Amino acid sequence: MAKPLALDFDPIARADELWTRRWGGVPSMAAITSIMRAHQILLSRVDAVLKPYGLTFARYEALVLLTFSRTGELSLSKIGERLMVHPTSVTNTVDRLERAGLVARRPNPLDGRGVLAAITERGREVVEEATRELMAMEFGLEEYGPEQCREVFELLRPLRVAAGDFTDPGEGAARGRP
């Protein structure tokens, strides 16, 4: 868990004041600094739940993705695409999950050079247990209600669209579903 700073002032607000005095007001500086600090806090909270399972958030995401697949297995390239990570990261993640007995590798019958990662029964048990715990602590966002979480999702959506993560469907049926 992130060590509380216990300061008697908001260091990001202070940095924003000093920045404004020196270079002028740039709200994006305070926003990015807040996002980065929030990332540290949330990762620490989530990691505290996942650590007893031998998981990081990246490994947890891979297991969840495999449970969402129809057959419980996906190609490593598909895992990388869906998790938006580099192929090397996928290989590292699957290696660690395999060593832990949570996934098994097998040749892809549709691609002679490809490999599938398949979730094991133990992997399914671990992802279910870890998910129950993460949901109980609201994935570290317990200070926010459902509507605020939807707002955060929507606020960050244009950034992800601009980065090319996906094409914005506009006001289609998929819009608003995190």
Residue 117 lies in a domain: yes
26 within a domain of the structure (yes/no): no
Using H for helix, E for strand and C for coil, what is the string for the chain?
CCCCCCCCCCHHHHHHHHHHHHHCCCHHHHHHHHHHHHHHHHHHHHHHHHHHHCCCHHHHHHHHHHHHCCCCEEEHHHHHHHHCCCHHHHHHHHHHHHHCCCEEEEECCCCCCCEEEEECHHHHHHHHHHHHHHHHCHHHCCCCCHHHHHHHHHHHHHHHHHCCCCCCCCCCCCCCCC
Question: Is there a domain that residue 80 lies in?
Answer: yes
pLDDT tens for the chain, residues 1 to 178: 667 888 999 999 999 999 999 999 999 999 999 999 999 999 999 999 999 999 999 999 999 999 999 999 999 999 999 999 999 999 999 999 999 999 999 999 888 788 999 999 999 999 999 999 999 999 999 999 999 999 999 999 999 999 998 998 764 444 455 5
Q: Which domain holds residue 124?
A: 44-163
- Provide the whole-model pTM: 0.85
What CATH number does residue 127 fall under? 1.10.10.10
Per the structure, the count of domains in the chain is 1
What pLDDT is stored for residue 172 in this prediction? 47
